[in-house]
Each structure stands twice: as C-alpha cells, then as structure tokens.
Amino acid sequence: MVKKDRIIEAQKITGMFKDLPLSRGETHLFVDRFDELNMIRNIGLLLDESIYGVAGETGSGKTTLFNILDFEEDPIHKIILHITEKDSKEIIIADLLDKLCLAIRENKHLSFAHKEAEEIISFLKEEELKGQEKGVKVGKIIEGEKKWTRTSKERFNLSAIKGKLREMVKTMVKYDKVLCCIDEIDKETKKDVLVILDSLKDELIHKNLVVVIALPQLMYHQYVQDRIGLLKEGNLENILKDIVPLHRMNDEDIDSLLIRRTRKFPDILSSKVRQLVVEFAAGNPREALLLCLNSLLKKKLRYPYEKDDFVLREEEIKNEMERFVKARISGLKLSKRERQILKVASDQSILTRSEIFRRSSQIYGIPSSTIQTVVKSLLAKKIVKEVESDTYEIDKKIGLFFKYYDDSLPGAKTAKTVKTAKTAKAKKLRK
C-alpha cells in the first residue's frame, strides 16, 4: 500500500504540468484571460442572433475559456460542441446537428428538448445507414489484388438535416437564450475553416441564439485585413460579427501560471529555472507546461520516490530546450551568414535595423549589402518578423538556440579586431 501511495504522489507531481484545458473546478489556476472571459460572457448575455470568433494559437486557452464560462443566475444556458467530422458540407452540418442533440440531451436545463434530441439522433443513424446501403460496389487494386468495397457519394440528405437542425435550434431557444460554443475548428487549415464557417453560418442565425467559435490565430489577422478592405476575396466579415483575440501572455503571466501550478510543491521549480521556462514559453502556456513535463519524464527515477527526486534542475531544463530548438533549427537549412546574424540578435528580443547592421558588421565583418539580403531571407523564412518600421523581432525559440547552444560560428570578430583590420587596410592604401 505504501508503494502505491508513493506512485500516486509522484503522479500528482507530474500532474501539475498536465497540458489540458482547465475545468470549472480549476478556476484557481486561471491566469490572465479575465478580460476576454468577461467579453465572451457579455456577448452571450447582451447580444442576439450573432456569430463571434475567439482566435488564438494552439494552447492559448480557448477551450479553457469555454469550460469556465459561467452565467450564474442569468437566464441563459451554455452548451459546448466539438466539431470533428469535416469531410464535406453535409457532413459538417450533420456532425453539428448530432453534437448539438447530444449536448441538449446532457443539459438538465433543456429537458423540454430531450425527446426531440433523441428522435433526431435516431434519424441521423437511419440516414447514415440508408446512405451506406445506396453505396456502389467498386473495385480497387490494392497490393496487386482486386479488392471490392462499397462507397457512397452522400451519407446524408442535406436538405433534410438542415431542416432538422432548424427545428432543433427553434426548440432549444424556445424559453431562454443559449450561448453555443463551437470548439476544435481552430486546428483546421485556413481554407477548411472558411468552408466550415460558410457551411454553418445560415443554420446558426436564430433569435435567442449566440454562437462563439474557436478559430486559429491567423483567422484574426485575416479578419482585420478583411474589415479594412485589404482582402479582395475576404468574406469573414460577412460571417462573423467580430473576433475576440487571445494574444500571447506576457512573461509575468507565464511565471504566475507556473507558481500556481506548483503551489503544493514550490521547490520543484527554483526562480532561476522558472525564468528559463518562461523564456522558452515565449507567451504560450502550453510550451511552458510541456517543457517541464518532458524534463520530468526524462528523469531516471528509482523507487522509493522522494519529492526531491522530482525537482527540476537547470541542466535538465536546458537539455530539453536544446532538444526542441535543435529539431526546429535542423529543418531551416540556415546559411553561415544567416546563423551569424541570428547569433548577434539572439541576446535581445527586439532590435532596430541600425543595430542589426552595426553589430553584424562589428562582430563578423559582414558587408551592409550582404546584411540586407540576409535579413530579407530571414523575414521570408519567418524566423525574423518586422514588428514596427525598421524594428525586428527574432523567433524566441530560435533565439534561445543561438543564445545558449550554438558555438559553431568561428571567425567572430570583436569591434577592436575590426577597427585594427580597417586601420591596417588604410595604411596599406596610403603606401
């Protein structure tokens, strides 16, 4: 029994870094997104017949916002749907209808709609079976043998499922308003997201219904461009009323997140180690948690486990950081000059154009024309981005590699060496 207790305790320690959305019972771990949470709550409470987006990169906390959102005693109900089937327009709508009915069936406040939800779930099952029966028997050549299978162009009758969806929505919002949170779409490509949104928009505009959809970060940038008329083909503004952006957290918030997560075992991360983790995370909480978790999983543990065995050391964190950033670097095929400029930029988060030119010239003696070409190349590879006019920011994880691990750049010149070389050259010319 003692052995089992020790294992459970060890699992609790590693569980501090679980990379999962927070639930209603974990609001004490919630950090930074209070303004966004309040805005989504007000969207649901004060608006009607609207579709909004919540955009952020993977791991930024969109699902957590949906989970912990609460309307307390207000006459509005929340349901969360996870759209997983996205093969075609008919499949998207059928999946939405199926997930909606399942969510209604589980919601005690919507008990008046339970019977209709059950009937529609049965209808969808019957429709799918009919679609399979109508399938055509076709032959395929697989590994040299002719295999027969049954295929179908259409699993559902699109008109029928649209009608059922409208019926279900009408019943669901008969007495109170409903906020419908649609999740999982943020993991799709930009093209697929547009197909999904276009498929759903006409079916989700209804009195007493507000819809909030989780979207990838790039959709926010496209939406902004769409609104100011930069995208000729843009149509997001016709679908979404607005998008709530989830920007990267600042370093203080990531640090606060780690302190809250480890409050039962604060010694597991010293302030120095936390600083390293925060730097690596670059504003994404998922990156911080995964770095700590992976470092823990690489420990060589021996029973009986003691709490001190799980303390994360600076060397362990740096080794895991190195493994990750080296994997990232290996696919970039950087030239010697690109590596040199990244090296001089790695110890500062933001550099002006003049600073890049001055330091690259002083340390490595790179001509100005070459620096300009290399910076353009790094911008094209999205390793460096222009945050303001003539002000650049290096990808933080790549910056970490050149800051901590890359010692493979021979020939670096100090400012004194460059000055001496120039003086010698000038004397030679005078002679």
Cis omega (within 30 of 0) on the bond before 304?
A: yes
Domain 336-430 has CATH 1.10.10.10: yes
Q: How far apart are CA 279 and CA 300, in angstroms?
A: 26
- The encoded tokens of residue 301 equal 């543990």
- Of 285, 256, 284, nearest to 271 by C-alpha is 256
Is the per-residue pLDDT at 415 higher than 60? no
- The encoded tokens of residue 58 equal 């993977």
- Which residues belong to CATH 1.10.10.10 in the chain? 336-430
pLDDT of 111 reads 93
Higher-scoring residue by pLDDT: 255, 418: 255
In this prediction, residue 4 has a pLDDT band, given cuts at 50, 70 and 90, of: low
Sign of CA dihedral 133, 136, 139, 143: negative
Higher-scoring residue by pLDDT: 393, 1: 393
Q: How far apart are CA 421 and CA 177, in angstroms?
A: 76
Rounded to 5, what percent of the chain is helix, strand, coil? Answer: 60, 15, 30
pLDDT of 304 reads 77
Query: What DSSP assignment string belongs to 309-335?
Result: GGPPPHHHHHHHHHHHHHHHHHTT---
Is the per-residue pLDDT at 431 higher than 50? no
Q: How far apart are CA 74 and CA 177, in angstroms?
A: 10
Averaged over 126-145, what is the pLDDT?
55
pLDDT of 188 reads 67
Q: Are strands 350-352 and 391-394 parallel, antiparallel or unpaired?
A: antiparallel
Residue % of the chain over a pLDDT of 70: 83
pLDDT of 133 reads 56
Q: How far apart are CA 409 and CA 182, in angstroms?
A: 49
CA 392 vs CA 130, 361, 365: distances in Å: 58, 17, 21
Buried b (16+ CB within 10 A) or exposed e, 74-101: eebbbbbbbbeebebebbbbbbbbbbbb
Q: How far apart are CA 292 and CA 287, in angstroms?
A: 9
- Per-residue pLDDT of 342-363, as tens digits, reads 888 887 778 888 888 888 888 8
The secondary element (H helix, E strand) that includes residue 297 is helix 285-297
152 three-state secondary structure: coil
383 three-state secondary structure: coil
Crossing angle, helix 89-106 and helix 114-133, to 10 degrees? Answer: 150
Provide the CA 408 distance to its chain's centre, in angstroms. Answer: 33
Buried b (16+ CB within 10 A) or exposed e, 25-38: eeeeebbbbeebbe
Q: How far apart are CA 200 and CA 161, in angstroms?
A: 12
User: Average per-residue pLDDT in the chain?
Assistant: 81
Q: Give the highest mean pLDDT range of 81-95, 163-177, 393-407.
A: 163-177
- Which residues belong to CATH 3.40.50 in the chain? 33-128+162-245
pTM exceeding the 0.75 threshold for the entire prediction: no
Q: How far apart are CA 204 and CA 122, in angstroms?
A: 22
- Per-residue pLDDT of 68-93, as tens digits, reads 999 887 889 999 998 887 777 788 88
- CATH number of the domain located at residue range(s) 33-128+162-245 in this protein: 3.40.50
Q: How far apart are CA 185 and CA 216, in angstroms?
A: 8
- Per-residue pLDDT of 365-382, as tens digits, reads 999 889 889 888 988 888
Q: How far apart are CA 201 and CA 29, in angstroms?
A: 34
Averaged over 325-337, what is the pLDDT?
82
Is the per-residue pLDDT at 425 higher than 80? no
Is the per-residue pLDDT at 144 higher than 50? no
Task: Give yes or no for a contact between 81 and 103, defined as CB atoms under 8 angstroms apart.
Answer: yes
Q: How far apart are CA 268 and CA 260, in angstroms?
A: 12
Is the per-residue pLDDT at 155 higher than 90? no
φ, ψ of residue 378 in degrees (nearest 5): -65, -35
Q: How far apart are CA 285 and CA 248, in angstroms?
A: 9
Strand partners, 136: 151
At residue 314, what is the residue type? E
Q: How far apart are CA 120 and CA 386, in angstroms?
A: 52
Provide the CA 56 distance to its chain's centre, in angstroms. Answer: 6
pLDDT of 292 reads 94
In this prediction, residue 423 has a pLDDT band, given cuts at 50, 70 and 90, of: low
Least confident segment among 38-42, 54-58, 218-222, 256-260: 218-222
At residue 262, what is the residue type? T
Is the per-residue pLDDT at 269 higher than 90? yes
Task: Give yes or no for a contact between 76 and 177, defined as CB atoms under 8 angstroms apart.
Answer: yes
The secondary element (H helix, E strand) that includes residue 180 is strand 177-183
Q: How far apart are CA 165 and CA 149, in angstroms?
A: 32
